[in-house]
Structure 1
Amino acid sequence: MYTAIGYAAQTATSPLAPMQFQRRSPRPDDVALDILYCGVCHSDIHQARNEWGIAVYPLMPGHEIIGRVTAVGSDVTRYQVGDMVGVGCMVDSCRSCKACQADLEQYCEEGPTMTYATPDRVDGSNTMGGYSSSIVVSEHFVVRVPEGLDPAAAAPILCAGITTYSPLKHHGVGPGHKVGILGMGGLGHMGIKLAKALGAEVTLFTRSAAKAAEARRQGADHVIVSTDQAQMQAAAGHFDFLLDTIPVQHDLNPYLETLTYDGVHILVGLVEPIDPPIHAANLILKRRVIAGSLIGGVAETQEVLDFCAEHNVSCDIEMLDIRHINEAYERMIKGDVKYRFVIDMATLKA
């Protein structure tokens, strides 16, 4: 084992603060890396403040990790010292269930081991995330950062990128499809870019007409102001897919009415009960589907990184000094970031 440093919450009400802790020495299948950049996800706030009721303290967030390999275990074959790599939301799974065998580790029947605040499958220790100087992870859960991708801007692809890419690919989105993106935060702006790169015609649904120009800069072909009843009615039956990135409860019924028959409304932002209730006629009369999706497996995470490099897609980021992480959390809650904070880990060492 060796001593590492990072920022962690000690309780649900305490701010994140510097902390020394122990990282394990690499096992035979492990890759060790120095962390260069780590994205800041809204779920980091939920976990640090125990808003989901599953937090384990001390809690060190961070699951959008980019770093350089410093050591490899004796059984590692895919990486070597000096490689630029990434670690996303998971660091292990059972690897033997039906989901894991299908490269869908996020749906592991035993539950995946998340990058932080989850018991390690081997020694039972609490996993610590990427708000830290280094990390040690099984080779299977490490991805390669392609040349041509800015490493800092690539960090959020490991969560925001794969969360939007995976359902678009799963449902076969491509040329000729009309896709609506609901919300334009960290997930939504990546949804616009990825759906456009897949060849779809892309429309942003937003409550604010002021976001129209920004949405078009991100690649949206059209913008619909969802509070404008006339615009919503004009869009009735128009879309093949809706990618819903809104993280709070909202009325799905008006959006469902914009789907054509066999249209699919995909939830990736909401993890609470749907409220108000869905009117079943909005599904039955047009054979519409409400679907959900959770991040992506390791193979698909590598796929989205390669896709982004090929199509020149990256996340819009604001670089962050880790000493300002608590202020950044407050800004995120207010929606005051376009569109993802990324911690420069050189500031941790400073």
Structure 2
Amino acid sequence: MALTIRGYAAHSSTSALAPFNFTRRDARANDVVIDILYCGVCHSDIHQARNEWGNSLYPMVPGHEIIGRVSRVGAAVTRFKAGDMVGVGCMVDSCQHCESCAEGLEQYCDEHATLTYNGIDRHDGLPTYGGYSERIVVSDKFVLSLPETLDPKSAAPLLCAGITTYSPLRHWKIGAGHKIAVIGLGGLGHMGLKFAKAFGAEVTLFTRSPGKESEARRLGADHVVLSTDPAQMQAVSSHFDFILDTVPHQHDLNPYLATLKRDGTHVLVGLIEPLEPAVHAASLIMGRKSVVGSAIGGIAETQEMLDFCAANGIACDIEMIDIQNINGAYQRMLDSDVKYRFVIDMASLRREV
């Protein structure tokens, strides 16, 4: 029997998010039914709700940073039981038979992972709806265990902002002895600082905004460089092993590439548009430098990240909001007026008539 669900949805690229009732499938044998307690608000929610990537399906219920409590499980589920605290990130399924899936890299599934929202379920062909809602039904393979010592509110954004920054740092084996820089101090950037510091690297923040030094140091930065100051940029020429670029809009990579050592790597995690202005190939060739990209992590790595956060006391800095304030929160995100991630208290849905 289908489940009737309350949530908030965008009905077009220009409409505000508004209350929306919809149906979810009943639990399949391998499904977990989760009562959603908290849902983080990601900048990609705005991109998708406003069709800025050109692939939006309406009505759309955003949200892919989900923390909740299991209410029941399908007959074949053994890993979870009613009452467990769990998380759901950006994916709810994948083909599970391609090379990437076999290696635990479901985010790079050859047949494309099924997204938590604005996707199509690969089994029944119905649209997926996300975490701005009271309940979700997810295959048990894509459900994460929440460590008891993690605060569920501040853990929610770890499922996107956290794993998006953790995964490249782990993949490129960042640790003690490395000098790394983070570009941007937002939801992703502040997590990049925390993880890089926890991994033992010497960490620098690149920012265009004067006055962020004390905040950056609180989050783990050893140094702060004002990227609009030519003298400061010159002082770190050929200095870094690795740059984590969290900026979600087009920007000039060339000044940052000049700060990489030979064989240095500049990884993009926030930008999916074409590079503009163009990268000067000579700056890559003459230093054997790399510009690369990284998505989120697979399910196993995301669980590893949650366990790492629990062991090291790492969480997102958040501001709690009610779902009724989501449209104002979107505008504040666009104005960079949040430190550093909004999280929706889904109990506020109960106030809807």
TM-score range for the pair, normalised by the shorter chain length? over 0.9
Post-superposition offset of 1:227: 0.4
Mapped to 1, the partners of 2:308 and 2:91 lie a distance apart of 20
String of CA shifts for 1:160-190, please: whole Å, max 9, x gaps: 0000000000001011100100000000000
Mapped to 2, the partners of 1:254 and 1:248 lie a distance apart of 16
Mapped to 2, the partners of 1:288 and 1:10 lie a distance apart of 44
Mapped to 2, the partners of 1:193 and 1:72 lie a distance apart of 35
- Which residue pairs with 1:225 in the alignment? 226
Post-superposition offset of 1:209: 1.8
- Which residue pairs with 1:139 in the alignment? 140
- Which residue pairs with 2:215 in the alignment? 214
String of CA shifts for 1:91-143, please: whole Å, max 9, x gaps: 00000000000100010001110000111111111000000000000000000
**1:204 match: secondary structure:** strand
**1:46 match: secondary structure:** helix
String of CA shifts for 1:62-95, please: whole Å, max 9, x gaps: 0000000000011111111100000000000000
Aligned: 1:148 with 2:149: yes
Kindly provide the amino acid, as one letter, of the partner of residue 74 in structure 2: G
- Which residue pairs with 2:107 in the alignment? 106
Mapped to 1, the partners of 2:235 and 2:221 lie a distance apart of 18
- Which residue pairs with 1:187 in the alignment? 188
- The count of corresponding residues between Structure 1 and Structure 2 is 350
Kindly provide the amino acid, as one letter, of the partner of residue 166 in structure 2: Y
TM-score (norm 1): 0.99
Post-superposition offset of 1:219: 1.0
Mapped to 2, the partners of 1:39 and 1:329 lie a distance apart of 12
Once the two structures are superposed, the pairs formed by residues 194-205 of structure 1 within 5 Å of their partners are 194-205=195-206
Kindly provide the amino acid, as one letter, of the partner of residue 202 in structure 1: V
Post-superposition offset of 1:285: 1.0
**2:326 match: secondary structure:** helix
Aligned: 1:92 with 2:93: yes
Mapped to 2, the partners of 1:284 and 1:156 lie a distance apart of 37
- Which residue pairs with 2:251 in the alignment? 250
Post-superposition offset of 1:279: 1.1
Mapped to 2, the partners of 1:62 and 1:6 lie a distance apart of 11
Post-superposition offset of 1:53: 0.7
Mapped to 1, the partners of 2:45 and 2:246 lie a distance apart of 17
**2:211 match: secondary structure:** helix
TM-score (norm 2): 0.98
Mapped to 2, the partners of 1:176 and 1:48 lie a distance apart of 42
- Which residue pairs with 1:270 in the alignment? 271
- Which residue pairs with 2:122 in the alignment? 121
**2:125 match: secondary structure:** coil
Kindly provide the amino acid, as one letter, of the partner of residue 90 in structure 2: C
Post-superposition offset of 1:11: 1.1
- Which residue pairs with 2:238 in the alignment? 237
- Which residue pairs with 2:319 in the alignment? 318
- Computed over aligned residues only, the root mean square deviation of the Cα atoms, in angstroms, reads 0.6
String of CA shifts for 1:185-230, please: whole Å, max 9, x gaps: 0000000000000111100000112111110111100000000100
**2:64 match: secondary structure:** coil
Mapped to 2, the partners of 1:65 and 1:141 lie a distance apart of 12
**2:244 match: secondary structure:** strand
- Which residue pairs with 2:24 in the alignment? 23
Kindly provide the amino acid, as one letter, of the partner of residue 159 in structure 2: L
Kindly provide the amino acid, as one letter, of the partner of residue 177 in structure 1: H
Post-superposition offset of 1:10: 1.0
**2:51 match: secondary structure:** coil
Mapped to 1, the partners of 2:188 and 2:144 lie a distance apart of 20
Aligned: 1:10 with 2:19: no
Post-superposition offset of 1:321: 0.6
Alignment identity in percent? 65
Mapped to 1, the partners of 2:131 and 2:252 lie a distance apart of 35
Structure 2 runs not aligned, ≥5 long: none
Post-superposition offset of 1:256: 0.5
Mapped to 1, the partners of 2:48 and 2:280 lie a distance apart of 33
Mapped to 2, the partners of 1:248 and 1:48 lie a distance apart of 17
Q: Runs of 4 or more off by more than 6 Å in structure 1?
A: none
Post-superposition offset of 1:276: 1.0
Aligned: 1:330 with 2:325: no
**1:161 match: secondary structure:** helix
